[in-house]
Amino acid sequence: MRGGIDRLTNDISQRTRGFLKDIRCRVRYCHVAMRHRVFEPTRESALIIAPHPDDETFACGGIIACKRSLGIPVVIIVLTSGENVFDRPSTWEVVSKIRQQQLISACNRLGVDSKSIYLLHLKDGIIDQLSGQELLEVVEFLSSVMKTHCPGEVFCPHPEDFHRDHVFAHRLTQMALKRSGIQANIFLYLIWGWYHGRRGLVKRLEDTKAVLVDFKSQAVAKALAVDIYTGPPYATEGVPYCGNLPRSLLDMFRRTRELFFHGSIDT
Ligand SMILES: [Zn+2]
């Protein structure tokens, strides 16, 4: 009986914490987004760097669909196959396979064919533990893709995007940009930072130049691509292969505007 009451109390306090974090996430996003002007997507070609299959769609799906609808080249690099979403090695093979299929289907929905997607298969959850040689090879590969495609715009996670793979994806992009020597406009996106971000993040974001990109004309394409990741088939009852995401983030992925912060190459 006592154990049952403890479990119930735990459950209620977890739900309350989640509810409050959802509210904070929505307030943070709206507070920052409303300060920035709305733009149409540019006609520049783009390179999207995503730590996991789904980040490209959740963060940049609208802008990708808009560019592709105009025939503008978009190349996507996904660093891991997202196998560790449930933190259970026994599921890695299956999860990795399904998430790769979802990546291809979602990108196809956005107008990107598989020839324009590079999947690096780094270890999900620990890409910051690459050895010196591995790091060199990954940076060299990213840099060679940059030089081959010469994108006008590069999209990657914001350095404060909380998840360690997202934070390190930013560092890898920085290293590759320096190595490649390409001249591209850099845009930073946030996913986990909105939900888990540290104290003071909103103040720092308020002071950063950003663009709010409107993609209403391609809203359906993005919604369908998001559905591929968040809908069935489920890994376990009602839990998609991208994991159980907070309500506030799921709602954010369904907005018809995407917010990007201007980045620059670190000196
Ligand atoms: Zn991710």
Domains and CATH numbers, the chain: 2-263 (3.40.50.10320)
How much is the pLDDT for 178? 97
Residue 71: left if φ>0, alpha if ψ -120 to 50, beta else—which one? left
How many residues does the structure list for the chain?
Answer: 267
Distance 55 CA to ligand 1 centre (A): 5
Query: Which residue type is seen at 96?
Result: S
Closest by alpha carbon to 62, among 210, 249, 219? Answer: 219
CA of 187 to the centre of ligand 1 (A): 16
Q: How confident is the model at residue 81 (pLDDT cuts 50, 70, 90)?
A: very high
**What percentage of residues in the chain have a pLDDT greater than 70?**
99
d(CA 99, CA 80) in angstroms, rounded, equals 10
Say yes or no to pLDDT of 12 above 80.
no
> Ligand 1 centroid vs 249 CA: distance in angstroms?
12
C-alpha of residue 9 to centroid of ligand 1, in Å:
31
Report percent pLDDT > 90 for the chain. Answer: 85
> Residue 9: its pLDDT value, please?
76
Question: Could you tell me the distance, in angstroms and rounded to a whole number, from the CA of residue 52 to the centre of ligand 1?
Answer: 5
pLDDT in tens, 16-70: 888 999 999 999 999 999 999 899 999 999 999 999 999 999 999 999 999 999 9
What residues contact 210, with CB distance under 8 A and at least 6 apart? Answer: 32, 36, 259, 260, 261, 262
pLDDT mean across residues, the chain: 94
Q: What is the pLDDT of residue 18?
A: 87
pTM score = 0.94
- Ligand 1 centroid vs 137 CA: distance in angstroms? 22
The yes-or-no verdict on residue 1 having pLDDT over 70 is no
pLDDT of 198 over the 90 cut: no
> pLDDT at residue 237 above 80?
yes
Is residue 224 a contact partner of residue 109, using CB atoms and an 8 Å limit?
yes
The CA 119 to ligand 1 mean position distance, Å, reads 14
Instruction: Please tell me the distance from the alpha carbon of residue 105 to that of residue 54, in angstroms, as a whole number.
Output: 11
Which two tokens mark 129? 């533990």
Cβ(45)–Cβ(151) below 8 Å: yes
Using the predicted structure, report yes or no on whether residue 254 has a pLDDT greater than 70: yes
Least confident of 81-85, 197-201, 251-255: 197-201
The pLDDT, as a whole number, for residue 87 is 85
Express each pLDDT in 84-143 by its tens digit: 999 888 889 999 999 999 999 999 999 999 999 999 999 999 999 999 999 999 999 999
**Cα 100 to middle of ligand 1, angstroms:** 14
CA 2 – ligand 1 centroid, Å: 39
Predicted confidence at residue 3, as pLDDT, reads: 74
